[in-house]
Structure 1
Amino acid sequence: MDESEDESEDARDLRALYRRYIDCLNRRDWDSLGEFVAPDAIHNGRPLGLAGYRAMLEQDVRDIPDLRFEIELLVAEPPLIASRLRFDCTPRHVFSGLPVNGRRVTFPENVFYAWRDGKIAQVWSIVDKAAIEAQLS
């Protein structure tokens, strides 16, 4: 097997791991989060660790009870994943600084993940706030 075949297999494995992570989020299986997230995880430059990462996700679900992560695009170049997630949900109150207040909105999130030893070590995430603003106007 040459190097490009190895790389392709690694990318397939990382994509499969990421899909299991997204499934874990959608099932709200917070006890299994440590299978996917490193104990020292960083999100948008903030060192949250696993406990902080879990708390962030739990708060997201409290704020948006119908939150569901849908993968639109997924690219893996180990150890990195680039994903475009789609959300169709109903935030209860203010979301991303916008007064959504129970209105249904659809928007994407562009997110990059750096993986280390099979776990998410760092996340860079940007929600398309303009897409939400357009729906609220």
Structure 2
Amino acid sequence: MTRTELADLYRGYIDCLNHQAWDTLGHFVHPQVTYNGTPVGLEGYRTMLERDFREIPDLVFRIQLLVADPPTVAARLNFNVSPRAEFFDLPINGKTVTFDENVFYEFVDGKIAHVWSVIDKAAIKAQL
């Protein structure tokens, strides 16, 4: 897979998330996906994302920076959201917060097999 093909595949994955097209998530995510070193599998990954969208009704993934170097993608994602209650153990309760996530993905067999995510919790805390 070329850099362009991998970047396009990743953009398709983000589109899948933003449209909550859970039935197509398996086109992008490996059945044995890991998240921050923990095996969660496709169903666990989907459950995590569905929970995020329930707790954050206005959740939209916005790509700020994207680097594709097969089999790896690095992205900086931006969020401007209003979580319903606590968020990362912080009392957000509907307040709008803006923050970034730096995330790395390793693709295996054309699907996301490993995800490493770091969210800027300090930025969220500073807005409270």
Residue matched to 1:99: 91
Residue matched to 1:127: 119
Structure 1: how far apart are the matches of 2:27 and 2:11?
A: 13
Residue 36 of structure 2 is aligned with which of 14, 31, 44?
Answer: 44
Residue matched to 1:55: 47
TM-score (norm 2): 0.98
Please give the secondary structure, in 1, of the residue aligned with 2:106. Answer: strand
Tell me the CA shift for residue 46 of structure 1.
Answer: 1.2
**Could you list the runs of 5+ residues in structure 2 that have no partner in the other structure?**
none
Structure 1: how far apart are the matches of 2:102 and 2:87?
A: 17
Residue 66 of structure 2 is aligned with which of 63, 71, 74?
Answer: 74
Residue 9 of structure 2 is aligned with which of 17, 31, 38?
Answer: 17
**Could you list the runs of 5+ residues in structure 1 that have no partner in the other structure?**
1-8
Aligned 1:100-119 pairs, distance under 5 A? 100-119=92-111
CA RMSD of aligned residues (A): 0.8
Residue 83 of structure 1 is aligned with which of 72, 75, 78?
Answer: 75
TM-score (norm 1): 0.92
The C-alpha deviation readout for 1:64-94, integer Å capped at 9, x for no partner, is: 0110000000001100000000000100111
Greater share of residues in helix: 1
Tell me the CA shift for residue 61 of structure 1.
Answer: 0.4
Please give the secondary structure, in 2, of the residue aligned with 1:60. Answer: helix
Structure 2: how far apart are the matches of 1:37 and 1:27?
A: 16
Structure of higher RCO (CA pairs closer than 8 Å, 6+ residues apart): 2
Structure 2: how far apart are the matches of 1:12 and 1:75?
A: 10
Please give the secondary structure, in 2, of the residue aligned with 1:126. Answer: strand
